[in-house]
Structure 1
Amino acid sequence: MSIEDRLSGPLPDVAGEAGHTGHPPRVGFFTDTSVCIGCKACEVACKEWNAVPEDGLDLLGMSFDNTGALGANTWRHVAFVEQPSPPGAPPSNAPEDLGMPAFDLPGAETGADGRTDFRWLMSSDVCKHCTHAGCLDVCPTGALFRTEFGTVVVQQDICNGCGYCVSGCPYGVIDRRPDDGRAQKCTLCYDRLHDGLEPACAKACPTDSIQFGELDELRERAAHRVEQLHERGVTEARLYGHDPADGVGGAGAFFLLLDEPEVYGLPPDPVVPTRELPAMWKYAGVAASALLAAAVAAFGGRRR
């Protein structure tokens, strides 16, 4: 099935299902990792706007990545993939192959002659604001809620720190802050959306790697971008999180990747843990009915 076919199916009206009437179109992120330069402006903007605590400068001993993964104090994480190209894989693409201006650095070569056997992939990761959100399904206090924009937000004054949402997220996004135990994650700058502003991370991105907008429009834009890259010979370009038929019903934040999801630390086939709940309750009901019928039959037999 082509990318266009996978994007042709409409995403569910999650805001309407949550009880919002007359709500605006669903919004989200399209992150084009092919133009990410790893500047971390998105991380800084996210922390500044949302007052997310600083989480230290730990270079992990093997990378320029100082945050490592998403967490309670890292709502945006720029992943650095620094490794030799896999055997048989084409060398790293020159900037112009990806639709970017050629880098004009002293002594640097551009074009096919400047390709090397070393690749440096970068990607700004974030909460996916899933169509079927496991964190939302398992929250016992209602601290997590679906907004009128189709996003998922944690209400800090209601969260009791139980941690059920942490295990309910197939991406390992949501986490509890050590000092108070309450769950924390990206809100897609819910307060900014109310004022007609784009999220801080997208506003700060200098290359438009992070694109914000109506989700249907972003999906069309993403399909066109992949087609453009394929025409330029970047055949490894593919979308992640765009398919409404995947294990989370399609994500509100999806990505253009230049390799397999595992290379970027993303699960290849994420499935929301609560997806089978309706079927489980159905089977439980059938089993309970059968047990009740057997008990009635046994009791009736004893009376006779």
Structure 2
Amino acid sequence: MGFFTDTSVCIGCKACEVACKEWNLVPEDGLSLTGMSYDNTGALGASTWRHVAFVEQPTGRASRSTDLGMPGMGPPPDATPPAGPGQETESGEGGVRWLMSSDVCKHCTHAACLDVCPTGSLFRTEFGTVVVQEDICNGCGYCVPACPYGVIDIRPGDGRAFKCTLCYDRIGEGMTPACAQACPTESIQYGELDELRERAGRRLGQLQEQGADGARLYGADPDDGVGGDGAFFLLLDEPEVYGLPPDPVVTTRDLGSMWRHVGAAAGALVGLGVASFLGRRR
């Protein structure tokens, strides 16, 4: 099971952030002004399991509306279209395009955080998602640099790691995760990954037919560097624009060969020590 987030219909309402915090009892954060538009949380973290990014792009082109099928975003007659995902509005000499996206843990198929966790706090659920058991986490922090997306973090004042659980308690009861349940435009969609990927492919085709040349799927390819994401996205621009790595890879991909080299080196040192000892005895 997983998420498909269609950023072309995200309106930046933050209902997903609020629903996530309320259901999972995540502490408040992002209450101070950041100077980054309405993006008060800034990034994913131990107390931000859903993060709505606001990206303001100067287009340098004359004002025009690019309707990408967003609910309620059609401009009224003789009016300047409102700023929104995939739309441009007049701003000074050029135009401005707003891109919005609700980011979340990717629940990687090959999850490096699982490889490095020494206590078994991180585990793969029966739904294919990755969950932190906070009562087992010892706060070592190994998972933090292991995550290629920078999702996991240690909560200040607590010392343990936290991240999205894809509402493990809800989906175990046949319920929809809180963020997807609260999303008014169905930008966040929950379901079986195979079906979601098919749906995403159809939506991508629709956008491209409408002239959205920059539209692309991110994290939907099972052959990518992490084996595909359990939470993938339809983006309207390059991943870097949204703060996402363009080519994520499993950070522990060389761990096996590293341990083999360490073992070989240790064996060689033991051999040299034994040979030296025997030589001295002679």
TM superposition score category, shorter chain reference: 0.7 to 0.9
Pairing of 1:243-282 with structure 2 (within 5 A) = 243-282=221-260
Shift in Å, 1:267: 1.3
CA distance in 2, matches of 1:297, 1:162: 39
Does 1:103 pair with 2:81?
no
SS in 2 for 1:39: coil
Q: Pick the aligned partner of 1:84 from 32, 35, 58.
A: 58
Name the residue aligned to 2:7: 33
CA distance in 1, matches of 2:57, 2:64: 11
Query: Which amino acid is 2:177 matched to?
Result: P
Q: Pick the aligned partner of 2:144 from 166, 174, 178.
A: 166
Aligned positions, number: 274
Structure 1 residues 295 and 160, CA, compared in 2 at 3 Å: closer, same or farther?
A: closer
Query: Which amino acid is 1:53 matched to?
Result: P
Does 1:283 pair with 2:261?
yes
TM-score by length of 1: 0.81
Q: Pick the aligned partner of 1:58 from 21, 32, 35.
A: 32
Q: How many percent identity over aligned positions?
A: 72
Shift in Å, 1:54: 1.2
CA distance in 1, matches of 2:212, 2:63: 11
Does 1:121 pair with 2:93?
no
SS in 2 for 1:212: strand
Structure 1 residues 122 and 278, CA, compared in 2 at 3 Å: closer, same or farther?
A: same
Shift in Å, 1:108: 2.8
Does 1:188 pair with 2:166?
yes
CA distance in 1, matches of 2:136, 2:3: 27
Shift in Å, 1:187: 0.4
CA distance in 2, matches of 1:270, 1:297: 46
CA distance in 1, matches of 2:16, 2:128: 22
Name the residue aligned to 2:176: 198
CA distance in 1, matches of 2:78, 2:160: 50
Name the residue aligned to 1:21: none
CA contact (8 A) 2:43 2:51 kept: yes
Structure 1 residues without counterparts, runs of 5 or longer: 1-26
Name the residue aligned to 1:94: 66
Name the residue aligned to 1:222: 200
Shift in Å, 1:79: 0.3
Q: Pick the aligned partner of 1:47 from 8, 18, 21.
A: 21
Query: Which amino acid is 1:94 matched to?
Result: T
TM-score by length of 2: 0.87
Shift in Å, 1:296: 6.9
Pairing of 1:112-151 with structure 2 (within 5 A) = 116=90, 117-151=95-129
CA distance in 2, matches of 1:232, 1:275: 39
CA distance in 2, matches of 1:220, 1:82: 30
Shift in Å, 1:303: 8.4
CA distance in 2, matches of 1:185, 1:235: 33
CA contact (8 A) 2:3 2:190 kept: yes
Structure 2 residues without counterparts, runs of 5 or longer: none
Shift in Å, 1:288: 4.6
Query: Which amino acid is 1:243 matched to?
Result: D
Please list the CA deviations of residues 142-196 of structure 1 after superposition, one character each: whole Å capped at 9, or x if unmatched.
1111111011111111111111111111111111111211111100000001110
SS in 1 for 2:195: helix
Name the residue aligned to 1:19: none
SS in 2 for 1:120: strand
Whichever structure has more helix as a proportion of its residues is 1
Q: Pick the aligned partner of 1:177 from 131, 142, 155.
A: 155
Shift in Å, 1:135: 1.4
CA distance in 2, matches of 1:292, 1:178: 43
Shift in Å, 1:91: 6.7
CA distance in 2, matches of 1:229, 1:221: 13
CA distance in 1, matches of 2:187, 2:19: 15
Shift in Å, 1:281: 2.5
CA distance in 2, matches of 1:292, 1:237: 57
